[in-house]
Amino acid sequence: MKLLIAVRQSDPAWDWPAGASERLRQHFPRLDIQVLDNWDNLETALRDAEIYFGWRMTEAAFAGARCLRWIHSPAAGVQNLLVPALITSGIPITNARAVHGPVVAEHALAMMLALARGLHRTRDFQAQKKWAVREMWQTPESLREIRGSTVLLLGLGEIGSALARHLRALGAVVIGIRRHPSQGTATADEVFAPEDILSLLPRAHWVVLAMPVSGSTPVLGAREFAAMRPDAIVINVSRGALLDESAIIQALAHGQIAAAGLDVFAAEPLPSDSPLWSMKQVLISPHLGSATHGVWIRELDIFEENLRRWLSGEPLLYAVNPRLGY
């Protein structure tokens, strides 16, 4: 049984770790494991693979993958896998949302705390050896509290639910938006449907994107920024496609919103000529939300459990609906 692993990225956090293949061979001796070092060879390598562990697919590679029976994405997002023929193929897809959700939630909370207290600016002043009490006090978006604030959380999946628990523990009011509000308010104070967003934005001190991409139109654009409070802060730890970058640049420049914490972007790396780099009210991290030195341990634990289930004919964990994209 051939398992093809293709996770090569420019980001070293996503390199297939040393010893991982040997661990899988010890636990599953039937596996013939091939680790792909070059995406150019995907089409050839996938032809006789029964299981594919990766986050990228092409139409040509899928068309030639006659033995393929199961795909596992080591990321939560599966958009780069969903070529049209795969969506309708019936081949099961699983993802790693349980691996990354708690970590990304912590990253979102870290960005919120940093922006609430202006820590990104104090670091700049530290580099200047400047005791900037007056400057910090006079910065409108700094020196606020999460306690007592209202957070509009777009998405209540693994990331959103974990973040909601953290925020409520800090004393924030959490309003959740989810596709099916009837699924309940287990982690949020209130839950609404996506079509209610414009009526909810004026209430929110914080707007956090923690949802999968399910369409081609950004969730936050010029209309949404116009509806926000001028002291609102936007956090995006989900996908760059969910936010209209030109619209948020305009909203920040004209004071429609106070600040933003951005971990994901439409183009990555973020181009050097993007105005976001030089905006003092913007905190940028280079898609580090899911990066942690413990991530591969959890990745392998979940994948091995699903391998065991696959071999014994049991239902797989963390199945993805390819038509919805999550």
Domain CATH for 196: 3.40.50.720
What pLDDT is stored for residue 290 in this prediction?
87
Q: Are strands 2-6 and 32-35 parallel, antiparallel or unpaired?
A: parallel
**pLDDT of 156:** 94
Q: Is the pLDDT of residue 13 over 80?
A: no
- Asked if 174 contacts 201 with a C-beta cutoff of 8 angstroms, the reply is no
158 an active-site residue? Answer: no
Report the distance separating Cα 207 and Cα 322, nearest Å: 27
pLDDT of the residue at 58: 96
Sequence-distant (6+) residues with CB within 8 A of 107 are: 237, 263, 285, 288, 289, 290
What DSSP character marks residue 169? H
Domain that holds residue 254: 100-284
Give me the percent of the chain exceeding a pLDDT of 90: 82
User: How many structural domains are present in the chain?
Assistant: 2
Q: Choosing from 22, 145, 268, 314, which is the catalytic residue?
A: 268
Q: Is there a domain that residue 319 lies in?
A: no
pLDDT of residue 18: 86
- d(CA 77, CA 249) in angstroms, rounded, equals 25
Please indicate whether residue 239 is annotated as part of the active site.
yes
Higher pLDDT, 142 or 45: 45
Contact partners, residue 286, CB within 8 Å, separation at least 6? 263, 268, 269, 270
Annotated catalytic residue, options 287, 298, 305, 309: 287
Give the residue with greater pLDDT, 114 vs 212: 114
Q: Mark whether 136 and 260 lie in a shared domain.
A: yes
CA distance 260 to 279: 10
User: Closest Cα partner for 114 from 284, 320, 318?
Assistant: 284
Within-domain flag for 208: yes
State how far the Cα of 103 lies from the Cα of 99, in Å rounded to an integer. Answer: 8
Q: Residues 154, 266: one domain?
A: yes
* Token output for 321: 């609906």
pTM confidence score? 0.89
Count, residues in the chain: 326
Band (pLDDT 50/70/90 cuts) for residue 38 is confident
Asked if residue 317 belongs to a domain, the reply is: no
Q: What was the pLDDT predicted at 124? A: 94
Q: Tell me: do 91 and 16 sit in the same domain.
A: yes
| Shared-domain flag, residues 215 and 67 | no
Q: What average pLDDT does the segment 129-158 reach?
A: 93
Query: How confident is residue 274, by pLDDT bands cut at 50, 70 and 90?
Result: very high
Task: Specify if 321 maps to a domain.
Answer: no
Residue 291 predicted with pLDDT over 90: no
Is 164 within the bounds of a domain?
Answer: yes
Is residue 322 a part of any domain in this protein?
A: no
| Amino acid sitting at position 20 | A
18 within domain boundaries: yes
Q: Do residues 68 and 178 both lie within one domain?
A: no
Q: Is the dihedral of CA 94, 268, 242, 188 positive or negative?
A: positive
Q: Are residues 16 and 109 in the same domain?
A: no
Q: Are residues 68 and 133 in the same domain?
A: no
Active site residue 123: no
Q: Indicate if the pLDDT at residue 199 is higher than 90.
A: yes
User: What average pLDDT is seen over the chain?
Assistant: 94
pLDDT surpassing 70 at residue 10:
no
Q: What is the pLDDT of residues 219-258, one digit of tens each?
A: 999 999 999 999 999 999 999 999 999 999 999 999 999 9
At 154, phi and psi to the nearest 5? -90, 95
pLDDT at residue number 195: 95
Output the pLDDT for position 119: 96
Do 151 and 81 reside in the same domain of the chain? no
Decide if 154 contacts 197 (C-beta within 8 A): yes
- In this structure, the answer to whether residues 142 and 168 fall within a common structural domain is yes
| Residues 296-309: tens digit of each pLDDT | 999 999 999 999 99
Segment (H or E) for 306: helix 295-312
What amino acid occupies position 69? Answer: R
Question: Is 228 found in the same domain as 118?
Answer: yes
Q: Which of 100, 166, 178, 239 is catalytic?
A: 239
At residue 270, the pLDDT reads 97
C-alpha 139/C-alpha 14 separation (Å) is 38
Same domain, 192 and 70: no
Give me the pLDDT at residue 212, please: 85
Specify if 213 maps to a domain.
yes
My answer on whether 94 and 105 are in the same domain is no
